[in-house]
């Protein structure tokens, strides 16, 4: 008598398809949440050299400014004044805080009359550093690129509003050899 093969339980196709659909939906939701909390940013142009170079990629934190306020020295991504839908955001270093007076005098930056030490700048400012003064309002910030001679920043478009700030740069992840957690640059003067 031939041996009968035991019957295998049938795969429930509906259950299997539902599991795949739920997994795909879960991956999508996680991706969207991560993108909302920590979007990625592509550096374009020389304005932040030597801190960042063109085509480097960064992770930005929106959460930092939901639970706290921007601080001097933060590298922020923001929508520039007058930008339209589809315009790329800009990235600059936060120099001036609400209520402060920012002054450029003899190509040097002063905050509330005190000279600001800036160890991160690319080169001494030779262009676009005309003497000028900005008085910041209650929710206004002053930003400048680290490469002062090649930066479109608050010297040109004036201060930015708190509502224009998207987030703070946290991690440089591309190219892989440039990977770094971006430490905050804190200043003891103003």
The catalytic residue among 47, 80, 151, 154 is 47
Q: Note whether 57 and 176 are within 8 A (CB).
A: no
Pairwise CA distance, residues 150 & 24, whole Å: 45
Pairwise CA distance, residues 33 & 14, whole Å: 28
What DSSP designation does 165 have?
E
Pairwise CA distance, residues 48 & 77, whole Å: 12
92 catalytic? Reply is yes
For residue 168, give every residue at least 6 positions away whose Cβ sits within 8 Å of its Cβ, in sequence order, or none.
60, 61, 64, 65, 70, 74, 75, 76, 77
Pairwise CA distance, residues 70 & 94, whole Å: 8
- Give the number of other Cβ atoms within 10 Å of residue 51's Cβ: 21
Pairwise CA distance, residues 20 & 23, whole Å: 5
154 catalytic? Reply is no
Name the residue among 129, 68, 121 with its Cα closest to residue 103: 129
The catalytic residue among 80, 92, 151, 154 is 92
Active site residues: 47, 92
């Amino acid at each position: 008598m031939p041996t009968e093969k035991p019957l295998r339980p049938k795969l429930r196709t509906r259950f299997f398809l539902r599991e795949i659909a739920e997994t795909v939906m879960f991956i999508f939701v996680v991706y969207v949440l991560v993108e909302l909390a920590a979007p990625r940013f592509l550096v374009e142009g020389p304005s932040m050299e030597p801190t960042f170079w063109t085509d480097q990629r960064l992770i930005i934190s929106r959460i930092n400014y939901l639970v706290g306020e921007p601080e001097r020295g933060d590298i922020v991504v923001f929508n520039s004044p007058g930008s339209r839908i589809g315009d790329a955001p800009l990235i600059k270093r936060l120099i001036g805080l609400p209520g402060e007076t920012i002054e450029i005098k003899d190509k040097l930056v002063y905050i509330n009359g005190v000279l600001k030490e800036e160890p991160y700048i690319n080169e001494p400012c030779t262009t676009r550093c005309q003497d000028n003064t900005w008085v910041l309002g209650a929710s206004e910030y002053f930003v400048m690129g680290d490469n002062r001679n090649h930066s479109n920043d608050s010297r040109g478009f004036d201060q930015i509003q708190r509502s224009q700030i998207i987030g703070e740069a946290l991690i440089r992840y591309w190219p892989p050899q440039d990977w770094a957690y971006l430490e905050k640059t804190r200043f003891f003067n103003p």
